[in-house]
Chain A
Amino acid sequence: MFHKQLAHFKQGIKSSTARRFVLATILSSSILACFITAIQLYMQYQNDVSQLNADIDQIKKSWLPSLRKSLWSIDEELIRSQLQGILQFDGFEYVSVTTDDSTYEFGSKTGYMRSIAYSYELQREEFSRVWNLGTLEVIVSLDQIYRSLWRQLLTLLLSNTLKTTLVALIIIVIYQSMVGRYIAQLAKFATHYDLGQTQHQPILERNNRVEDEFSQVENAMHSFIANQHEQVEKHRVASTTIATQRDALEESNNQLAKVNEELTHFSYSTSHDLKAPMTSVLGFLKFAKKDIARNELDQAVEDIDLAVVELERLTHRIEDTLALARSELSENKWETIDIKALVKDVWQRVSQSYPQVIVSFRCQFSHSVIPKLVKVRIQIILENLFSNAIKYSSPERPIKKVWLQTENCENQFVIRVSDNGIGIAKEYHQRAFTVFQRFANSPYPSSGLGLAIARKNVEQMGGTIELESSKAGTTFKLCFEIVQPQR
């Protein structure tokens, strides 16, 4: 118990607030005490003075008449004893009676500092005449009064000082234990508070739940902190939202940039590649005119035939360009397709377009699960891949082979279309799927759009297409996720 209070004291004395508090309290208390003491002493003084006056009155009342009698009868013994009697009074130091003939005196006139002197004329009226008996002189010393006052003052001062000092010390302890330490705790709490921590901590270490100003401050701080947490949470949510929106915006931007680039490239390529056959047609017709002018009609007919071929090529190219545009736009009808039947059907149609080319076709279906796909798009993709395989088959190989495999691999449905044709050099793999790209000359017309169309259709179904190639041939790998969200 004592150690605790000592600790409080040590803390309190450091606090400037505590010191000022004590100083103010003690100062005002002391001023008040001084005031009260002054009043007390004054009253004491008044008391003593009135006592003195009472004594003087007593003398006037009872001793003076007696003295007169004894003086009239000239009873010296009586006079002396009366005078001595007067000297018995407190503070009376000197008394004397002076008559015409003699003086009777007792006490001393010295040995004291302050005094009051009283003198009384003693007279008697007798035989119709006033006799002057003598003069009574009394000197009263006030030293006693002043001394007692002084003593009282010192005692009061001393006891007050002692009391004040003790009270000051006690106030420091009480102040510290009731107020100071809580203020320090509040300050410490506020300084060290970390908004990151979410635990609800008590601010003040108090055993008893007292409802006072400090608990009010504590509650206020708790609600302030709760408020701050709310704000922080709001901000966090807001910035998460902003971050998400920003990401979405960035994604959107990237897509737009990509589409823009595709479009630019597409329009450049298209204008080039659609214009080319027209320029050839123009050339042929100019020469046809010249040949007719020179009467070389066979030559003219040949020119016109060649022009026709070019126009057919152009028509083919325009159709393919439209097919590419359409593959971007057309709606998707998702269904579980009969892939085996579809593959055989498409191969039949495509191979019939190239009757001169003898190609051996094999298929192997090793998949167990097939996701929902768009039948028309798969048809288009297979048409393009098959016709490429035929068109770019190797003239050096007597047996031209095309084969198709399906399988399930890591939650995907995979189709592989392979051939033993002339292949595509590694450096062109990146360009292979862009528009109007041809890497070899083929005896068959090619718009250079086949792979672009195939890729667009694959992507519109959420899948991917890759190409591997070597001198031995080429393989296209199509992958589709099994679990597919409906678009």
Chain B
Amino acid sequence: MPIPIIIVDDNDADRYLIKRSIEETAVDCLVTEFTAGDDFLSAYEDPQHYSAMVPESAAKAMILLDINMPRLTGFDVLERLAETPITRSDFVVMMITSSDNVRDKDRAKQFEFVKAFAVKPLDEEKILDLCANYF
């Protein structure tokens, strides 16, 4: 059962690095990429689009969310996710960011669906841990 993984990061290089990290883990997955928070959210809120990303048969989705993005930041996205009535919810979010800022960590912790916080460059171990705990 491939794990649906959604990457939301505006930086091409970072997205590339995350994908390679995922490849290194050799986990069976279905990866979708977004370059901006609002693009992701419009896809998330459209059931048809969402089904394309996250098949019905999948129990959960993994969202790897960057903090520093143009227009909508990672936190803006989290807030929208928290507001949106949960249709086919069940996702797990890991924040990926450049700086190990305590304030950012604390703010992210307030959302119960954020289960991990990683500093770039992303360590494969982190992905494996997340898979082991939640998938």
Q: Do A and B interact with each other, yes or no? A: yes
The stretch that binds A, out of B14-22, B109-117, B127-135, is B14-22
A-contacting residues, B1-47, CB 8 Å: 10-11, 13-14, 16-17, 20-21, 24, 35-36
Count residues of chain B with CB under 8 A from any CB of chain A.
Answer: 21
Q: Is A282 on the interface with B (CB-CB < 8 A)?
A: yes
B53 within 8 A of A: no
User: Which secondary structure dominates chain A's binding surface?
Assistant: helix
Query: In the complex the two chains form, is B99's CB within 8 Å of A275's CB?
Result: yes
SS of B interface (majority): loop
How distant is the Cα of A292 from the Cα of B17 in the complex, in angstroms? 16
B13 touching A280, Cβ below 8 Å: yes
Q: Give the contact-size bracket for chain A.
A: 20 to 34
Residue from B17, B24, B70, B101 within 8 A of A441 (CB atoms): B70
Tally A-B pairs: CB < 8 A: 61
**Which B residues lie within 8 Å of A306 (CB)?**
13, 16
A30-38, A117-125, A283-291: which lies at the B interface?
A283-291
Contact A283 B17 (CB under 8 A): yes
A439: which of B17, B20, B68, B70 is its contact (CB, 8 Å)?
A: B70
Q: What 18 new A-B contacts, CB under 8 Å, besides A279-B119, A441-B10?
A: A272-B68, A272-B98, A272-B99, A276-B11, A276-B14, A279-B14, A279-B98, A280-B11, A280-B13, A280-B14, A280-B17, A282-B120, A284-B13, A287-B20, A306-B13, A425-B71, A437-B70, A438-B10
A-B residue pairs in contact (CB < 8 Å), sample of 30: A268-B101, A272-B68, A272-B99, A275-B98, A275-B99, A276-B11, A276-B14, A276-B68, A276-B98, A276-B120, A277-B13, A279-B120, A280-B13, A280-B14, A280-B17, A283-B13, A283-B14, A283-B21, A283-B121, A290-B24, A306-B13, A309-B13, A310-B13, A425-B71, A437-B70, A438-B10, A440-B70, A440-B71, A441-B10, A441-B36
Q: CB within 8 Å of A: which residues of B?
A: 10-11, 13-14, 16-17, 20-21, 24, 35-36, 68, 70-71, 98-99, 101, 119-122
